Amino acid sequence: MLIGVCGKTNVGKSTFFNAACMASAEVSNRPFTTINPNEGVAYVRVKCPCVHLGVQCDPRYGMCIRGTRFTPVKLLDIAGLVPGAHKGRGLGNRFLDDLRRATGSILVVDASGSTSPDGEPAQPGSYPPEGDVELVEEELVYWVASIVEKAMHKLRRIPPKSVAEAAQVLATQLSGLSVDKSSVLEAAARAKLDLKAVATWDDDSILSFSRALRGLCMPMVVAANKADMPSARRNIERLRSLMAGRYVVVPTSAEAELILKKASSEGLIDYLPGASSFKILDHSRLTPAQAAALKAVKRMVLDVYGSTGVQQALESLVFDVLGYKPVFPVENEGKLSDQEGRVLPDVYLMPPGATPIDLAYAIHSEIGESFKHAIDVLRKVRLPSTEPLPSGAVVKIVARS
Ligand SMILES: Nc1nc2c(ncn2[C@@H]2O[C@H](COP(=O)(O)OP(=O)(O)OP(=O)(O)O)[C@@H](O)[C@H]2O)c(=O)[nH]1
Ligand SMILES: [Mg+2]
């Protein structure tokens, strides 16, 4: 799964990315280590059945700490937006092409209000963060509209004879955004537009349609970043009520998460990403500056919001918004292991409707093709092959030999 990190310029996207990717935790020559400067590996927390079962798991990727399985997801930090990006302002919006690879995105905003729409530093509290949300929404809408416009050339030349035909032409043009016919139909309905008359749509209709489509096809969570700054508190309250029903808003302090991860990797504190507290291991090893920074993180972030929010933003997107579920495939149901004896080696994050057959294909196309049935190992029952997988299940796929 690829998660995009998008937003106005200078709001802390790269800091969020650095903090989330636990770069200090694990660096090695194997899959899911950093691929290029803007692509990295973050982790979402999943409850591992190892503790409950009293076994020692052996994760192939990520790690398991006291029954919390840190499961890898890829993160893509993209360049920032400024108003008019669709007209080429700033860095333009070519990089949005990267974003379409993402299953969902973290929309980072400056909750402290200390950056102008163009990303210039400003007095805290000067710019309400809802403006940062609207800026990204609008730029994405124009980007979608530019793709819709390409289909319009064809639709105007040869007007479709039916709604289905119109939906098909638009879905084909928009397939790069994972748009299918049903989302086209839904977006047209939401925008109260007649698809049969698509050839007559004016610019406003195209924008309304694109707005509805963006809302449907680009799932996002808002990270209200720089939450550590005093000016952020009231902004976050307002943002939450303004965005209710549209976006989950998670207060984040990417900077605080970085401080904690760094102190943890240096052995100064015991801190589990996502936790509400940390423990100083040896006060005498802290410099006065480090002690002051840790104190500020506790006072300004953890005591106010309960966490730095970085883990929560990722997990809210993956589990609450996208509805993904973790499953633990094993080959040997007695040992809960793979063929080499690795206990609970993998966690697969599967989309909401994914079935045992989908899991088999996700493991390997050959396993998918030779799928016979699947067993819920802990409940000792056969799973219906075409029903959604139960979340958190340990699953054995039985294939034809
Ligand atoms: N107080 C505070 N400052 C932060 C936080 N996160 C980022 N910053 C600061 O915000 C500024 C911009 O951070 P970046 O991570 O470079 O922002 P960006 O969104 O990636 O910027 P562009 O790539 O230029 O679009 C830097 O000065 C960071 O130190 C935070 O959580 N709290
Ligand atoms: Mg950046």
Specify the residue with its C-alpha closest to ligand 1, atom 3.
226
Specify the residue with its C-alpha closest to ligand 1, atom 32.
226
Q: Following CA atoms 338, 273, 13, 62 in sequence, which dihedral angle do they give, to the nearest 10 degrees?
A: -10
Number of residues that make up the chain? 401
Asked whether residue 129 is domain-assigned, the answer is: no
Asked whether residue 81 is domain-assigned, the answer is: yes
Q: Is 110 in the pocket of ligand 1 (CB under 6 A)?
A: no
Q: Is 257 in the pocket of ligand 1 (CB under 6 A)?
A: no
Sign of CA dihedral 209, 315, 261, 240: positive
> Which mutation among 6, 15, 228 tests ligand 1's pocket best, with the greatest number of atoms within 8 A of CB?
15
CATH number at residue 307: 3.40.50.300
Asked whether residue 68 is domain-assigned, the answer is: yes
Q: Are residues 38 and 51 in the same domain?
A: yes
Asked whether residue 131 is domain-assigned, the answer is: no
Q: Are residues 97 and 9 in the same domain?
A: yes
Q: Is 254 in the pocket of ligand 1 (CB under 6 A)?
A: yes
Q: Is 264 in the pocket of ligand 1 (CB under 6 A)?
A: no
Q: Are residues 273 and 157 in the same domain?
A: no
pLDDT for res 100 = 84
Q: What is the 3-state secondary structure (H, E, C) of the chain?
A: CEEEEEEECCCCHHHHHHHHCCCCCCCCCCCCCCCECCEEEEEEEEECCHHHHCCCCCCCCCEEECCEEEEEEEEEECCCECCCHHHCCCCCCCCHHHHCCCCEEEEEEECCCCECCCCCECCCCCCCCHHHHHHHHHHHHHHHHHHHHHHHHHHHHCCCCCHHHHHHHHHHHCHHHCCCHHHHHHHHHHCCCCHHHHHHCCHHHHHHHHHHHHHHHCCEEEEEECCCCCCHHHHHHHHHHHHCCCCCEEECCHHHHHHHHHHHHCCCEECCCCCCCCEECCHHHCCHHHHHHHHHHHHHHHHHHCCCCHHHHHHHHHHHHCCCEEEEEECECCCCECCCCCECCCCEEECCCCCHHHHHHHHCHHHHHCEEEEEECCCCEEECCCCCCCCCCEEEEEECC
In the chain, the number of structural domains is 3
Q: Separation of 187 CA from ligand 1 center, angstroms?
A: 35
Name the domain boundary from 217, 234, 269: 217
Q: Are residues 160 and 67 in the same domain?
A: no
Q: Are residues 155 and 192 in the same domain?
A: yes
Q: Are residues 95 and 143 in the same domain?
A: no
Name the domain boundary from 284, 302, 319: 319
Q: Is 226 in the pocket of ligand 1 (CB under 6 A)?
A: yes
Taking a 5 Å cut-off on Cβ, the residues next to ion ligand 2 are: 13-14
Ligand having the closest approach to the CA of 254: 1
Q: Is 214 in the pocket of ligand 1 (CB under 6 A)?
A: no
Q: Is 80 in the pocket of ligand 1 (CB under 6 A)?
A: yes
Q: Separation of 13 CA from ligand 1 center, angstroms?
A: 6
Q: Are residues 160 and 290 in the same domain?
A: no
Asked whether residue 128 is domain-assigned, the answer is: no
Q: Is 253 in the pocket of ligand 1 (CB under 6 A)?
A: yes
Q: Are residues 91 and 11 in the same domain?
A: yes
> Residue 367 is part of which domain span?
327-399
CATH number at residue 337: 3.10.20.30
Report the atom number in ligand 1 closest to the C-alpha of 229. 1
Asked whether residue 114 is domain-assigned, the answer is: yes
Q: Is 315 in the pocket of ligand 1 (CB under 6 A)?
A: no
Q: Are residues 313 and 225 in the same domain?
A: yes
pLDDT for res 393 = 97
Report the atom number in ligand 1 closest to the C-alpha of 252. 31
Q: Nearest 5 degrees, angle CA 103-CA 104-CA 107?
A: 155
pLDDT for res 178 = 85
Q: Is 10 in the pocket of ligand 1 (CB under 6 A)?
A: yes
Taking CA atoms, 157 is separated from 150, 168, 308, 344, in Å, by 12, 16, 53, 57
pLDDT for res 81 = 85
> Which mutation among 5, 6, 9, 10 tests ligand 1's pocket best, with the greatest number of atoms within 8 A of CB?
10
Name the domain boundary from 195, 217, 239: 217
Specify the residue with its C-alpha closest to ligand 1, atom 21.
10
pLDDT tens string for the chain (401 positions)? 999 999 998 899 888 999 999 643 222 222 222 233 478 999 999 999 999 999 999 999 999 999 999 999 999 988 888 888 888 877 667 677 778 889 999 999 999 999 999 888 999 999 999 999 999 999 999 999 999 999 999 999 999 999 999 999 999 999 988 899 999 999 999 999 999 999 999 999 999 999 999 999 999 999 999 999 999 999 999 999 999 999 999 999 999 999 999 999 999 999 999 999 999 999 999 999 999 999 999 999 999 999 999 999 999 999 999 999 999 999 999 999 999 999 999 999 999 999 999 999 999 999 999 999 999 999 999 999 999 999 999 999 999 98
Q: Are residues 183 and 204 in the same domain?
A: yes
Q: Are residues 43 and 143 in the same domain?
A: no
Q: Is 12 in the pocket of ligand 1 (CB under 6 A)?
A: yes
